Amino acid sequence: MNELLRSNNPVLISFVETLLREAGIHHLTLDQHMSVMEGTIGILPRRLLVASDGLMQARALLIDAGLAAELPDPPP
């Protein structure tokens, strides 16, 4: 699994999850329940992971959706 996106914005995370789900790209959201631990102040970002073989497709999907600025640099 590779990290596709890291964000504190729950709306962005939800939108990207929906895009991935509709495209049939399997993903995993980590740290979504950490807000309980941190006291809901939103300092711990959530991470979206995708399988290595779907990473480039997922990145292209987000770029097409206008979210290129949200993506980290591609892996080497």
pLDDT tens, 25-49? Answer: 999 999 877 655 666 666 788 899 9
Map tokens 């711990």 to a residue. 44
The confidence band for 10, taking pLDDT boundaries of 50, 70 and 90, is: confident
All domains of the chain in start order, with CATH: 2-70 (3.30.70.790)
Residue 64, Cβ neighbours under 10 Å: how many?
A: 10
The most confident of the ranges 5-9, 29-33, 64-68 is 64-68
- Arithmetic mean of pLDDT over the chain: 88
Distance CA 52, CA 70 (A): 19
Tell me what pLDDT residue 37 has. 62
The answer to pTM > 0.75 is yes
Crossing angle for the helix pair 55-64 and 10-23, to the nearest 10 degrees: 120
Residue 15, Cβ neighbours under 10 Å: how many?
A: 14
